[in-house]
A = this chain, B = another copy of it.
C-alpha cells in the first residue's frame, strides 16, 4: 500500500487542524427533532458540503420533505467504490442544566483518569465519527493527490428523528448511490483497546395484542368469580412466551436461527463479557436469557421476545374494584439469522389464539417486521477491515453483533444490494443522547488513522 505511512504521518501532524474543523461543525446546533433548529440543520449540511467540495468532492444538498441530505461523489475509475453513510443531526440537549459546559461550545477536556476528550453535543454521535472518515479522505487527498477507492458519501440530517425520509431518498437515487460496499461510522469499539466490526444486526417483529372479554368494564363484586378477566388471559400469554430455561416457547419460532461459526464463538468466549460488567451498569446481575448460552450470545446472536408494554383496567391512584373489558400488550421479537418476520407473525398469532377463551376475542396488530442482517463471515472486505483495524490498534479486531436493528442497513441491502460494514470508535462512556457527550481524542485520532488503513486495504 504505497503512501499509507505518509498519510498516517500527515494525519498525526494535522490533528489540531482536524479538531478545529470538527469544532466548527459542532458549533452548529443541528437538532433535527426540534423545528426551531431547522435553519441550523441546513447550516450544518451546508458547512459539510462546503468542506467536501473544497476537498474535491462533487457535493450538494439534496432536499427532502424534511432536512436535506448531503451527497458527495469522488469516483476513481477501476477501483472499488464505497458508499459511506453518517448523519449530521444531533440529539436535543435537555436537561441543559446537567451540562458542565454549553453543549454547542466544543472544547477539549481531561477526564479524572487523564484521558483527553472532545466535549460537545455530537462530539461522538455522529459528527465526530463522520469526521474520522472525512479526515482520512482529506489526508489521502492532500498527501497523494487522490483517494485509494471511489467514494460516495450520503450524510443525512434526520437520523435522530427516525430517518423517515431516507428510505424513499435511497430508492429514488438508487442508480446514483451504486457501490461495492457500504461503510457506516456510527457504532462503538468493544472497549478502549479493542477495535470492533459490527457484522450482524438483529431484526425486529413487533405486535400489539388486544384481548377483549366482557363488552364493558364490570364491578368485581358483582361479576368477580364468573367473568373472564382479560388481564389474566393476557398475563397467561406473556407468561407462556418463555419456558423455565429462558427459551422462547412458541412452536416454530426458532426456525431459521443459525449457530455462529466456531471461531466467532471462540473469540466471544475470550472477550469474557460478565453479568457484572454488562448488567451491573443498570442494576441487574442475573442474565435472563437462555441458560445454556453465553451472555454475549443472548444479546447479539440469539432471538429474543419482550413485552414492551402492557395496560389494562384501572391504573390510577388508589383502588377501583373493576374487571376490565379489555387489556393489551405490545410484544416484540428480535430476530437473527434467517428468521422470517412473516413466519414469526404466523406462529405467534397461532400461539396467542390458542390461549383465548371461546367467549373472548383477540386482535393482533402487526406493527413492523425486518429480517436480521448478517455479513458473510468470509466476506473479503470484512477480512481486510479486520486486518487494518488490528494493525492500527495492535490487537485482534473482534467481530460482534448489534442487538438492535439499524434500519438503513436493511435499505442498503434491499434497495442497493449492498452489504454494510459498521466500524466505529465510540466507547460505552461517551454519553451519547445524554448531557456531557464526549468523544475520546484517541477515538478521533486513531479512528481517522483506522479509516486510512481500511481505505488503503480496500483499494489495494
Interface residues of A (CB under 8 A from B): 202, 204, 206, 213-216, 218-229, 231-232, 234-242, 275, 278-279, 282-290, 295, 298-299, 302-304, 306-315, 318-324, 327-330, 332, 334, 357-360, 367-368, 402-405
Additional A-B contact list (8), CB under 8 Å, known A222-B403, A225-B403, A310-B311: A221-B405, A227-B279, A231-B307, A232-B306, A236-B238, A307-B312, A315-B330, A321-B404
Cα–Cα, bound, A235→B223 (Å): 22
Cα–Cα, bound, A141→B228 (Å): 50
A282 and B313: CB pair below 8 A?
no
Main secondary structure of the interface of A (DSSP, over half): mixed
Cα–Cα, bound, A286→B132 (Å): 66
A282 and B218: CB pair below 8 A?
yes
A323 and B308: CB pair below 8 A?
yes
Count the copies: 2
Of all A-B residue pairs in the complex, the 6 with the closest CB atoms, nearest first, are A221-B404, A215-B283, A309-B313, A235-B238, A239-B239, A225-B298
Of residues A225, A310, A359, A367, which shows the largest number of chain B Cβ atoms within 10 Å of its Cβ?
A225
Q: Nearest B residue to A361 by beta-carbon distance?
A: B283
Instruction: Contacts A227-B279, A282-B216 given; indicate if A402 touches B287 (C-beta within 8 A).
Output: no
Smallest CB separation, A275 vs chain B (Å):
8
A-B contact pairs, 10 of them (CB 8 A): A215-B282, A225-B304, A226-B275, A227-B279, A231-B306, A236-B239, A284-B359, A288-B357, A308-B319, A310-B313
Q: List the B side residues contacting A235 at CB < 8 Å.
A: 234-239, 307, 310
A224 and B282: CB pair below 8 A?
no
Smallest CB separation, A75 vs chain B (Å):
35
Q: List the B side residues contacting A320 at CB < 8 Å.
A: 308-309, 330
Cα–Cα, bound, A330→B221 (Å): 15
Q: List the B side residues contacting A234 at CB < 8 Å.
A: 235, 310
Q: List the B side residues contacting A303 at CB < 8 Å.
A: 225
Q: List the B side residues contacting A236 at CB < 8 Å.
A: 235, 238-239
Cα–Cα, bound, A312→B231 (Å): 13
Smallest CB separation, A115 vs chain B (Å):
24
B286 and A358: CB pair below 8 A?
yes
Q: Nearest B residue to A219 by beta-carbon distance?
A: B404
Cα–Cα, bound, A238→B313 (Å): 14
Q: List the B side residues contacting A327 at CB < 8 Å.
A: 310
Smallest CB separation, A238 vs chain B (Å):
4
